[in-house]
Structure 1
Amino acid sequence: MVEGDWEYQPVRLPPDITRISATVQLGIRAEFGGWELARTLLYADGSRKVWLRRKLSRGLVAGLAT
């Protein structure tokens, strides 16, 4: 999903995943994909939905000729 100058990626984490494991997964995405945490939502069943974001690289915008 693209909004303004940011690209967003929603990630759903199941309720059985530990907090440490979730941190490692999100850290890997941040380190190698350039993502940062934008928002988190905790559901009653214990699952989490997080939105990651990163600045758009103008050369990677779909339909844009370089």
Structure 2
Amino acid sequence: MSKRDVEYEIERVRLGRHLSRGAVRQLLTDQAEYGGWELTRLRRYRDGTRDVWIRRRIIRVHATV
């Protein structure tokens, strides 16, 4: 399997400004540890909200007959 054949599932999460930096870090750590997600991009806006893009590999099982 080459690098080009790798497919990812991507999810965008909007986080409110009420969440502290530590709470966001813990949330992303839990997603990575238990869900297999990795951080792709994080964008923080002036009002304090954050957009987070996370991804995980899609593993396809090819049945051989």
TM over 0.5: yes
> Corresponding residue for 1:57?
59
Higher relative contact order by CA 8 Å / sep ≥ 6: 1 or 2? Answer: 2
Structure 2 residues not aligned, in runs of 5+: 1-5
Deviation at 1:14, TM superposition (A): 0.5
> Corresponding residue for 1:5?
7
TM-score (norm 1): 0.78
Which one has the largest radius of gyration?
Answer: 2
Q: Alignment RMSD, CA only?
A: 1.6
Write out the 4+ residue segments of structure 1 that deviate beyond 3 Å after TM superposition: none
**Number of residue pairs the alignment of both structures matches:** 58
> Corresponding residue for 1:62?
none
- Aligned-pair identity in percent equals 40
Structure 1 residues not aligned, in runs of 5+: 60-64
